[in-house]
């Protein structure tokens, strides 16, 4: 039987003798849970009254057991609401780790919702800036490059255009990096808001990241132009940027070098062509990549159009001796451009791995991104705009890496783009 507060108090003030009083005290003890959380009820005081009445018992053994139970209940002190102090804290917030009464819990949640609304406002404002501020051509650095270009002779026009494009690319990469970070933040905030799965620490993190992206967007990246007196009649210029170390892929100056099989290197190392007759033939890049992120652009100048056509491209450990059939080497990772849809992971073929469809044909431009620090390589086909990624087992395909291309059919041709 669960007693009301009035019934419990009546039994403590008018106890029945002997075992009847013992039974009533036990019933009263059960009733503690009924009103112990009521506002304004002093449970500890009520228990002291019960204990006082209990002292009239003659049965000491039974009373000691009950006293221990009562004292253990009395030791459970109530926690005041962290907001209003008057109420009892019954619900804990996992963010601030404070306890609130039912009313203040609702108010606390409303405060969090208002903070999230503020973050969403900042998010939307920053989103508008990211979508509209794209006038890289008005950047003062480009104007400085143009002035240098006008003062030089026609012989250095090619160099001027090269540096001009470098600046634009760096600005684009910086903006792209900001957009990528902003997109990830958008997903986190949207998911958090839709699922109501956020606490104070999440709000603080989101606001801090928004502010950081906002400041980086407002503040121009630190890029300076530095003269290099490698020729007497004009100072060569190149770009120095603080965000070149932000894990942004760098277009690497690569050339084809060592070969194995019926294949020739032409155009000052920019082109490889398979000779007559079918057969595996491999070529390595001259660079070795051990850290950072590097971007290589390959163009499939010529590739057989039949069902048996394929070209392999990827990376291999630089310490591995070159062979014609390097596709099966456990120190290599690569994609098979062709109908077989093979993805080679440390020399083992996997068909259609992670959705790879092998859709590569003549005139496609392939962008390879080598992320040495993250131990992965990525491939994007500019025609299909499809992207793929291979995690590299560094224990098998050890750094440094080299570009590795394998061709098989006569006259198949691959070019490295500048």
CB 407 within 8 A of CB 262: no
Supply the pTM of this predicted model.
0.44
Name which of 131-145, 245-259, 305-319, 393-407 the model is least confident about. Answer: 131-145
78-96: pLDDT as tens digits: 788 999 988 888 889 988 9
Mean pLDDT of 42-60: 49
Nearest one of 305, 265, 260, 255 to 280, comparing CA atoms: 260
pLDDT bucket at 40, cuts 50 / 70 / 90: very low
pLDDT bucket at 390, cuts 50 / 70 / 90: very high
Residue 51 has pLDDT above 80, yes or no: no
Q: Report DSSP letters for 299-316, one per residue.
A: EEEE---STT-EEEEEEE
Q: Give the gyration radius of the chain's Cα atoms.
A: 37
Residue 386 has pLDDT above 80, yes or no: yes
Residue 57 has pLDDT above 50, yes or no: no
Domain boundaries, the chain: 5-74, 103-245, 250-417
Mean pLDDT of 283-296: 92
pLDDT bucket at 20, cuts 50 / 70 / 90: low
pLDDT above 90: percentage of residues in the chain: 32
Residue 193 CA to residue 333 CA, distance in Å, equals 41
Residue 324 CA to residue 321 CA, distance in Å, equals 10
Note the pLDDT of residue 151: 67
Residue 77 has pLDDT above 90, yes or no: no
Characterize the bridge pairing of strands 250-251 and 293-302: parallel
pLDDT bucket at 32, cuts 50 / 70 / 90: very low
Tokens encoding 87: 């109420």
Strand partners for 386: 381
Residue 210's Cα: distance from chain center in Å? 15
Phi and psi based region of residue 88 (left: phi greater than 0; alpha: psi -120 to 50; beta: remaining): beta
Note the pLDDT of residue 165: 83
Give me the CATH code for the 250-417 domain, please: 2.60.120.920
Mean pLDDT of 239-266: 75
Greatest distance between any 2 Cα atoms in the chain: 117
pLDDT bucket at 27, cuts 50 / 70 / 90: low
Other CB atoms within 10 A of residue 324 CB: 16
Q: Is 404 helix (H, G, I), strand (E, B) or coil?
A: strand
Q: In what order do the strands lie in the sheet with 310-317?
A: 256-260, 281-285, 401-407, 310-317, 332-338, 342-345, 348-351
Distances (CA, A) of 359 to 37, 83, 321: 68, 62, 30
Nearest one of 361, 365, 379, 357 to 303, comparing CA atoms: 361
Residue 255's Cα: distance from chain center in Å? 33
CB 164 within 8 A of CB 157: no
Name which of 79-88, 154-163, 408-417 the model is least confident about. Answer: 154-163
Name which of 11-25, 224-238, 304-318 the model is least confident about. Answer: 11-25
Note the pLDDT of residue 293: 87
Residue 145 has pLDDT above 50, yes or no: yes
109-122: pLDDT as tens digits: 999 999 999 999 88
Q: Report DSSP letters for 215-252, one per residue.
A: HHHHSPP-EEEEEE-SSSSS-EEEEEEGGGGSS--EE-
Mean pLDDT of 287-301: 91
Chain mean pLDDT for the chain: 78
> When comparing pLDDT for 407 and 127, which is higher?
407
Q: Is 400 helix (H, G, I), strand (E, B) or coil?
A: coil
């Amino acid at each position: 039987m669960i007693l009301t507060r009035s019934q419990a108090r009546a039994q403590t003030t008018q106890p029945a003798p002997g075992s009847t009083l013992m039974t009533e005290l036990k019933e009263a003890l059960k009733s503690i849970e009924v009103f112990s959380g009521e506002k304004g009820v002093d449970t500890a005081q009520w228990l002291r009254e019960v204990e006082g009445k209990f002292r009239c018992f003659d049965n000491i053994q039974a009373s000691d057991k009950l006293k221990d139970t009562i004292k253990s209940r009395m030791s459970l002190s109530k926690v005041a609401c962290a907001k209003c102090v008057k109420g009892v804290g019954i619900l804990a917030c996992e963010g601030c780790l404070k306890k609130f009464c039912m009313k203040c819990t609702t108010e606390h949640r409303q405060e969090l919702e208002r903070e999230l609304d503020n973050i969403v406002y900042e998010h939307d404002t920053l989103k508008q800036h990211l979508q509209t501020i794209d006038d890289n051509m008005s950047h003062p650095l480009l104007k400085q490059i143009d002035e240098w270009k006008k003062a030089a002779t026609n012989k250095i026009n090619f160099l001027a255009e090269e540096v001009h494009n470098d600046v634009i690319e760096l600005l684009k990469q910086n903006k792209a990096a900001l957009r990528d970070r902003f997109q990830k933040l958008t997903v986190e905030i949207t998911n958090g808001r839709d699922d109501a799965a956020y606490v104070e620490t999440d709000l603080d993190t989101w606001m801090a990241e928004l502010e950081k992206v906002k400041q980086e967007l407002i503040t121009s990246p630190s890029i300076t132009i530095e003269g290099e007196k490698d020729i007497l009649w004009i100072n060569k210029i190149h770009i120095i940027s603080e965000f070149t170390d932000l894990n942004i892929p760098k277009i690497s100056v690569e050339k084809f070098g060592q070969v194995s099989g019926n294949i020739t290197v032409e155009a000052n190392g920019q082109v490889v062509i398979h000779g007559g007759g079918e057969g595996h033939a491999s070529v390595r890049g001259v660079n070795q990549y051990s850290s950072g992120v590097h971007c290589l652009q390959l163009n499939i100048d010529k590739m057989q159009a039949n069902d048996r056509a394929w070209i392999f491209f990827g990376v291999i450990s630089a310490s591995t001796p070159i062979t014609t059939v390097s596709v099966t080497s456990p120190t290599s990772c690569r994609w098979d451009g062709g109908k077989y849809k093979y993805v080679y992971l440390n020399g083992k073929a996997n068909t259609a791995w992670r959705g790879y469809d092998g859709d590569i044909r003549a005139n496609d431009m392939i962008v390879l991104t080598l992320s040495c620090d993250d131990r992965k390589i990525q491939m994007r086909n500019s025609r299909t705009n499809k992207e793929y990624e291979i995690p590299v087992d560094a224990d098998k395909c050890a750094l440094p890496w080299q570009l590795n291309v394998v061709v098989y059919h006569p006259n198949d041709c691959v070019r490295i783009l500048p």
